[in-house]
């Protein structure tokens, strides 16, 4: 196989009022994982030039199963995280600022404030 799972379709909408097909999971060491370009959450617009518009889920699955050895995907990268089951065992990132980007400057500021306070108290 291609090494990834899909969700969506006219009969199994992943996002309400959206019949699109999305990548839900990429198998470690599978073809898509080794290629490195496809990401969980990507919307697949076409496979080998055939648009995936308004297909039932099982029809989309059949297109992927019969894609052949050389596969060309047209995708749309998801810019903002969506709520939902995309991703199995993700990296824990929420899409916001990493915790370290907030903690490190905050701790540095706190340490500086303590140092200034101690120096000021010694002069009194």
Domains and CATH numbers, the chain: 4-76 (2.30.42.10)
C-alpha closest to that of 70 among 48, 37, 96: 48
pTM, entire model: 0.63
Give me the residue label for tokens 């050895």. Answer: 69
| Residues in Cβ contact with 30 at an 8 Å cutoff, skipping those fewer than 6 apart | 1, 2, 3, 4
Q: What is the pLDDT of residues 66-111, one digit of tens each?
A: 998 889 999 999 765 556 555 444 444 444 445 555 666 666 677 7
């Amino acid at each position: 196989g291609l090494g990834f799972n899909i969700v969506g379709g006219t009969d199994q909408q992943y996002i309400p009022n959206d019949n699109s097909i999305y990548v839900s999971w990429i198998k470690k060491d599978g073809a898509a994982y080794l290629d490195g370009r496809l990401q969980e959450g990507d919307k697949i617009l076409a496979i080998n030039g055939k648009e995936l518009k308004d297909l039932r889920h099982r029809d989309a699955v059949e297109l992927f199963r019969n894609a052949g050895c050389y596969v060309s995907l047209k995708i749309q990268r998801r810019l903002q995280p969506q709520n939902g089951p995309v991703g199995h065992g993700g990296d824990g990132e929420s899409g916001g600022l990493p915790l370290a980007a907030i903690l490190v400057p905050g701790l540095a500021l706190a340490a500086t404030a303590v140092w200034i306070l101690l120096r000021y108290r010694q002069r009194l």
